[in-house]
């Protein structure tokens, strides 16, 4: 019990004094996961729209597959990306293993299914009256898409938030392809909140772990607040 209380006190001290290590790790987590979320959004939204509005055989099975991949285990994504970008792997010449770029790739792959699936749900949830009205007014294909996307923007935003949340909270892929490196420069390091918590706990630095955990929760809270604010505007 003493350990937990002392851990929390020390954690608050680390946060309030803007401990440079904690800040750097938190900032790196945000940069990496945000970049992954942007890439995933750019792929998932058009892909989700194409699947939702397209008619092709096996569509139902495809949607089922995407929904199954919601729970894609992070270590499996990590392993897959590791094998692809390791020097002896097909993309080894890029020398990406143990870089933040590798982590962005892994997180993008990880959150792609859930963001695509939630985009499909968002688009299919748009009031059919709006769809029929747009069609009857003779909207072109693009006009139709743009307006449906506009209608569904809050639900899509929620999909983006879910994607970001999954990216920043995962640890399996981050440690396999990132290597949890603490280098002297910000940009070469691959230590993020989750991998740092894992390491610090194993090293018995409980207060550092608690501080990083609190920061992770604050980030999650911040993202949620931002989304709610936008939705209620």
Partner 1 sequence: MYYDIYLIAMYKRTIFAVAAVMVALMLICGCTGTTTDPTPAEKQQLRIATTTSLYDTKLLDHLTPIFEEKYNAEVLIVSAGTGKALEYGQRGDVDVMMVHDRAREDTFLADGYGTDRRVFAYNYFVLVGPESDPAGVKGMQPEAAFTAIRENGMAGNASVIFVSRGDASGTHSKEQAIWKAAGFNYSTEVKGSGDWYQEAGTGMGATLEMANEKEAYTLSDIGTYLAYKGDLDLVTLVDEGDILLNVYSAMQINPEKFPDTNSTVAKDWVNFLISEDIQKEIASFGVDQYGQPLFYAAQNDWEKIGVNEAEVKDPVA
**What is the C-alpha separation between 110 and 112, in angstroms, rounded?**
6
Instruction: Answer yes or no whether residue 188 interacts with partner 1 by CB under 8 A.
Output: yes
Residue 183 found at the interface with partner 1 (CB under 8 A): yes
Residue 164 interacting with partner 1 (CB under 8 A): no
Q: Which is nearer to partner 1, 96 or 120 (CB)?
A: 96
Among 26, 49, 81, 104, binds partner 1 (CB under 8 A): 104
Contact yes or no for 207/17 (Cβ under 8 A): no
> Judged by CB under 8 A, which of 29, 33, 52, 101 binds partner 1?
101
Q: Would you list the DSSP string of the chain? A: -HHHHHHHHHHHHHHHTT-HHHHHHHHHHHHHHHHHHHHHHHHHHHHHHHHHH---TTHHHHHHHHHHGGG--HHHHHHHHHHHHSTTSTTGGG--TTSHHHHHHHHHHHHHHHHHHHHHHHHHTS-HHHHHHHHHTT--HHHHHHHHHHHTHHHHHHHHHHHHHHHHH--HHIIIII-----SSGGG----HHHHHHHHHHTT-HHHHHHHHHHHHHHHHHHHHHHHHHHT-
Contact with partner 1 (CB under 8 A) among 97, 110, 111, 171: 97
Between 96 and 118, whose beta carbon lies closer to partner 1? 96
Does residue 185 interact with partner 1 by CB under 8 A? yes
16 versus 88: smaller Cβ distance to partner 1: 88
Please give the angle made by the CA atoms of 93, 99 and 100, to the nearest 5 degrees. 130
For position 184 contacting partner 1 by CB under 8 A, the verdict is: yes
Which CB, 56 or 93, lies closer to partner 1?
93
One character per residue 125-154, x = contact with partner 1 (rule: CB under 8 A): --------------x--xx--x--------
Question: In angstroms, what is the minimal distance from the CB of 34 to partner 1?
Answer: 8
* 88: number of Cβ within 10 Å: 6
Q: Does 50 bind partner 1 (CB under 8 A)?
A: no
Task: Tell me: does residue 98 bind partner 1 (CB under 8 A).
Answer: yes
* Minimum CB–partner distance for residue 165 and partner 1 (Å): 19
**Pairwise CA distance, residues 170 & 33, whole Å:** 10
| Shortest CB 179 distance to partner 1, Å | 4
- Looking at 5, 16, 88, 129, which residue binds partner 1 (CB under 8 A)? 88
Which residues are near partner 1 by CB under 8 A?
31, 34-35, 38-39, 42, 86-89, 92, 95-101, 104, 139, 142-143, 146, 179-185, 187-188, 202-204
């Amino acid at each position: 019990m003493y350990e937990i209380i002392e851990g929390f006190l020390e954690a608050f001290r680390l946060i309030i004094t803007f401990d440079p290590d904690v800040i750097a790790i938190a900032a790196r987590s945000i940069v990496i996961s945000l970049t992954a979320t942007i890439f995933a959004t750019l792929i998932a939204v058009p892909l989700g729209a194409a699947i939702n509005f397209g008619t092709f055989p096996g569509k139902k099975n495809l949607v089922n597959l995407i929904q199954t991949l919601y729970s894609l285990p992070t270590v499996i994504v990590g392993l897959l990306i590791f094998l692809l970008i390791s020097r002896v792997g097909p993309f080894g010449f890029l020398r990406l293993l143990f870089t933040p770029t590798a982590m962005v790739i892994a997180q993008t792959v990880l959150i792609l299914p859930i963001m695509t699936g939630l985009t499909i749900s968002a688009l299919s949830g748009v009031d059919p009256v709006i769809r029929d009205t747009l069609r009857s007014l003779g909207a072109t294909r693009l006009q139709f898409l743009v307006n449906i996307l506009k209608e569904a923007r809050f639900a899509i935003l929620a999909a983006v938030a879910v994607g970001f949340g999954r990216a920043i909270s995962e640890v399996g892929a981050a440690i396999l392809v990132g290597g949890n490196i603490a280098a002297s420069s910000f940009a070469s390091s691959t230590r993020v909140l989750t991998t740092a918590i894992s390491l610090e706990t194993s090293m018995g630095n409980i207060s550092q772990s608690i501080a990083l955990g609190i920061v992770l929760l604050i980030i999650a809270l911040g993202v949620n607040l931002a989304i709610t604010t936008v939705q209620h505007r």
